Chains A and B, each alone.
Chain A
Amino acid sequence: MTRPLRLRLLLRDLSIAAAFASMAVSGQVPLWAFGLVLVAVLMGVLGRRPFARYPRLTAALLVPLAGVLYLAVASGQMDLVVAACSFAGLVAAQRVLSESSPATDGQVLLAGLLMIAGGAALSGELLFAVCLLTFAVLASLSLGLAVVEAAVPVGEPVPVRAVMRPLGRGTFVAMLGAMAFFILIPRLNWNVGVRRASPGLGTATSGFSDTVRLGGSGTLKSNPRVVLRARLSPDPGTEQLSSYWVGRTYDTFDGLEWSTIGASTKRHRTRVTLRPGADNQVYQRIELLPAYGSRTLIALETPAKLGNALTHTALGDRRTQLQELGGDELRFVEEGLGYSYEVYSVPPGTDTDPGRMNQQETDQLLALPDNLDPRMEELARRVVGDEKDPLAAAQKLSAWLQREYEYTLELSGDVADPLRDFLFVRKAGHCEHFATALTLMLRTQGFEARLATGFFGGERVGDEYLVRAGDAHAWTHVLVPGRGFVTVDATPPAFRANQSLQLIETMISLYESVEALWRKAVVDYSFRDQLDFVRSMSRPPRDASGQPRPSSSLPPLRAWVTAAGVALAIYGLVRALSQRRARRPAQEATRLVDAVERLLARAGLPPREGETLEDVSARLSGEAHPLAPVLAAITRRYLEARFGQRPLQSGESARLLAQLRRALDDGRPTARAS
């Protein structure tokens, strides 16, 4: 057995890595399976195949691994599809570490195909597309090389360079074909036994849990993943928003954690009104991306109406309902890959209703923890002085905190009293410390306040605003009589928005915009999109209002596309016809020779074995045969037509044959053919 081509094995192993990665980007593959496959692929890439000597024994190792996966599925710890995909990865790993053979190679690449299918079921990430592309290219090259390698006789080199070019072109064409199929295959949905899609790799936001523990590490601030896209009306027109996106509020602090006493309602509604609206409300069309990782609705301060929500799932979009919880929190009833909904918010600075609160909730706005450090009240009194206006007092305290305390994310380990630690020991903390300190100091002075969490900021991309996971923030709501809850932020302004590196942020932005395109064009492609595509090919384009677009001096895009298609068709036709014209004389000349040989055979002068018409003519000339002159002329004309680029004229072939027939009939030479 000859040694397999190393390049082919390398391509094969890398394609398997890409296939496995297509599943791994979903973040659902168990770590141990991930580790095993990673090690196997690395060894394969390095050319080490330790299982080659023990193929059966090592294949038997897959049985206990299958058992482990089965138990994980049976106990509900693992999804069936995830388990199946993981097992396909392990099978591929075992094959990668075994001796290469046509059967092994086929099994490896088919396992890769299964993993790609599994990846499609597990993940909607853009990275899946990258993995799919990588797998398709590498696996095609590897398979193509294997086919040629099998046909090359032993000992001869495999023509790698000659193979790669047509294979590469073929793979590219296959990609285009895949896109064409993708666009045109009718979208059907039997909707039997579907599974939930996952948010994919990377840290999602911590979400909005029922409690907020003070003193976390705060690494979220450096997470640049986009969690929210919003289109605002009226458009603020600024590049950077300095707005608060509220998710929920907390009114109870026990010294360690914030929570809410308000109970959730059991009603599910499509639209929820939190408070009366006002003039000049800000309309928001918000999309929560999978990286958001929570079901809590986000809206610009101060939301009045929310609704018309859609859940994005692997099956497409569907309407979903909202559930109202305590702390002004609204949640989507159904879990999905992402969500989109509409919100109307009261503009900042507008007097508004504080919202529905019962007496207990109102009383809670002044509640203090039992173990509150008594120095805090003294400190607050010293800063606030005899200020009676809640907002002014809050602003005084906020300015004092920003001036006297430092912002830091370097907080490690739990402390017994994080607020005391912040105010009197460390004198440094992050947004939750500043917001908690402000809220509680206000309460010690009799001002009603609560903690609000959500996001701060917004970066303009196109006509949308992006909010990143690192924009997660906490601030204070001060209840001002007659004005409602007013936002006061004690965190130093420089540290309110996300704090990731600019370069990473730029790269992530680029990735997110490509991913948005991917989701719009591929993941969310629907039957309606197909119909629109077909319509767009047959009808003039219309604007959003459904009216035909005003005519411009330039032809529409479809005219360009059609013209390009027609041009290509004409080019192909001309090329085909030119090829046909080039061959036609040769075919006619060949037919002439065949006819001549038939006539000669009929006359008892068949060409001998391996004898060409030229040979026959020469032989007859040598024998001084009476047919020789006619045949010599025909032979010369044939050679001119066949090789001399002087094609036979119309009817010339018939004329030559007629001369030969006459010569045969007469048994004597005729006039020379010309």
Chain B
Amino acid sequence: MRARLRPPRTLKVTRMGRTYLVVTFGVGLGALNTGNNLLYLVLGLLLSVIILSGVLSERCLRDLTVRRVGVDGAFAGEPFAFRWGITRREGHAFALTLSEADSALTGEGSVGYLPAGAEHVVRADLTAPRRGPMKLLGVRVTTTWPLGLFAKTRVFELPGTLLVYPRRGFACGPPEDAAVSHVGEAPSPRRLDGTGDLAGLRELGEHEDARRVHWLKSASANRLLKVEREREERRTYVLEVRSGLEAEALERRCEEVAEQAHRLIEAGHEVGLELPGQRLRPGAGSGQERALLRALAWLGFEDEREEEAA
């Protein structure tokens, strides 16, 4: 509805434009008061510039085509790279600023000069305030060309959805014990370290099992060194978001699970996810992590997903 009611072009006076209008008004009053022809001449120039600004900015927004190039991964609360492809069929455009219209996404990208023909990819660092799917209605293209007095805006209707993953960096505790050992890789439940021949030593990372420390080498190197074997240990975790969580609690749990999943998958473990009404089988690698994040992002927004599917 909002998009329908929106005028095809919107015009906003910039801060400098406001002062410019005040000066124009003052010069107009001065001209009327004194009848000084030179003031009328200056007034004519000021008015002419206002009209010219409108015409040039309108020409700047004509013959444009915009598409979304997309985003690799958008996490709530932190800037992520977003791109639009913008093309002009003929003529030139200057000083274009692109942003998402009627969206909670903040941030904008800009292009100084857009010649005709070639597509220009505009990059922006956008920020989404919350997790979940965000409806994208259109792309707002604004120009302050030619003199920065007025900002003329045109919105290109371009429906789409941006899935925003849970916020990163939430400090959480270590995950619970692995639900299931990796069958065949670790025959003895007591033997949780890696198997196979010694592959090397490396510094013990944060959150890594201290039982893998090679104490002798560590003593000589004066730092904790971990033993790496040809077949590393791999455990399987199934993280869970209980049903009944709402609002802030749900958000915090999603962030916590996302963080745990990230850490576990980084460490080479397999991670599954138990959500209300949905279960993701354990898996490893970045693809699994992306699947977990997508599932977490949709959590609580299932209705919108169904609408999209329909």
Contact = CB atoms under 8 A, between A and B. Distances in A.
A114 B23 CA distance: 7
Contact of B35 (A176, A188, A522): A188
B148 A146 contact: yes
B110 A153 contact: yes
B28 to A, nearest CB: 9
Nearest to A189: B35
A32 to B, nearest CB: 26
Contacts of A176: 48
Nearest to A81: B30
A174 B48 contact: yes
A187 B26 CA distance: 16
Nearest to A124: B38
Given A106-B16, A147-B147, A524 B37 contact: yes
A193 B48 contact: no
Contacts of A42: none
Q: Chain A contact residues: over half helix, strand or loop, or mixed?
A: helix
Contacts of A191: 33-35
Interface in A316-361: 316
Determine which residue in B52, B56, B92, B147 has the highest number of CB atoms from chain A within 10 A of its CB, and name it.
Answer: B147
Contact of A151 (B26, B30, B110, B147): B110
Given A117-B23, A147-B145, A170-B146, A162 B115 contact: yes
Interface stretch (B79-87, B93-101, B199-207, B224-232): B93-101
A178 B35 contact: no
Interface in A126-158: 128, 132, 136, 140, 143-144, 146-153, 156, 158
A316 B95 contact: no
B113 A185 contact: no
Interface in B112-131: 112-113, 115, 123
A159 B113 contact: yes
Interface string A163-199: 1001100100111111111100101111111110000
A402 B215 CA distance: 124
B41 A178 contact: yes
B32 A181 contact: no
Contacts of A153: 110-112, 123
A106 B17 CA distance: 9
Interface in B9-57: 15-16, 19-20, 23, 26-27, 30-49, 51-52, 56
A116 interface: yes
A111 B21 CA distance: 14
Q: Chain B contact residues: over half helix, strand or loop, or mixed?
A: helix
A452 interface: no
Contacts of A524: 37
A167 B111 contact: no
B144 interface: yes
A148 B112 contact: yes
Interface string B232-249: 000000000000000000
A120 interface: yes
Interface in A83-117: 106, 109-110, 113-114, 116-117
A195 B36 CA distance: 10
A170 B52 CA distance: 7
A34 interface: no
A117 B26 contact: yes
Nearest to B27: A117
Contacts of B20: 110, 113
Contacts of A166: 56, 92, 94, 146
Contacts of B31: 185
B113 A525 contact: no
A66 interface: no
A440 interface: no
Nearest to B34: A194
Interface in A514-569: 522-525
B38 A151 contact: no
A564 B124 CA distance: 49
Contacts, number: 174
Nearest to A176: B48
B94 A148 contact: yes
B147 A181 contact: no
A148 B95 contact: yes
B19 A106 contact: yes
A274 interface: no
Contacts of A178: 41, 44-45, 47-48
A132 B42 contact: yes
A194 B33 contact: yes
Nearest to A150: B95
Contacts of A181: 43-45, 47-48
A151 B122 CA distance: 11
Given A106-B15, A170-B146, A185-B40, A132 B45 contact: yes
A121 B39 contact: yes
A522 B41 contact: yes
A151 B48 CA distance: 25
Nearest to A522: B37
Nearest to B60: A166
A130 B178 CA distance: 84
A144 B146 contact: yes
Nearest to A193: B33
Nearest to B89: A583
Given A124-B38, A158-B112, A170-B56, A147 B94 contact: yes
Determine which residue in A113, A120, A522 has the highest number of CB atoms from chain B within 10 A of its CB, and name it.
Answer: A120
A315 interface: yes
B56 A156 contact: no
B12 to A, nearest CB: 14
A314 interface: yes
Contacts of B38: 119-121, 123-124, 128, 522-523
Contact of B41 (A143, A167, A182, A189): A182
A179 B42 CA distance: 10
A151 B95 contact: yes
Given A152-B113, A163-B94, 5 more contacts: A153-B123, A166-B146, A194-B33, A314-B34, A315-B35
28 contacts: A113-B20, A117-B27, A120-B38, A121-B30, A121-B38, A123-B38, A136-B45, A140-B147, A146-B148, A147-B148, A151-B96, A153-B110, A156-B112, A159-B113, A162-B113, A163-B113, A166-B94, A170-B146, A175-B48, A176-B48, A177-B45, A177-B49, A180-B48, A187-B40, A314-B35, A314-B36, A315-B35, A524-B37
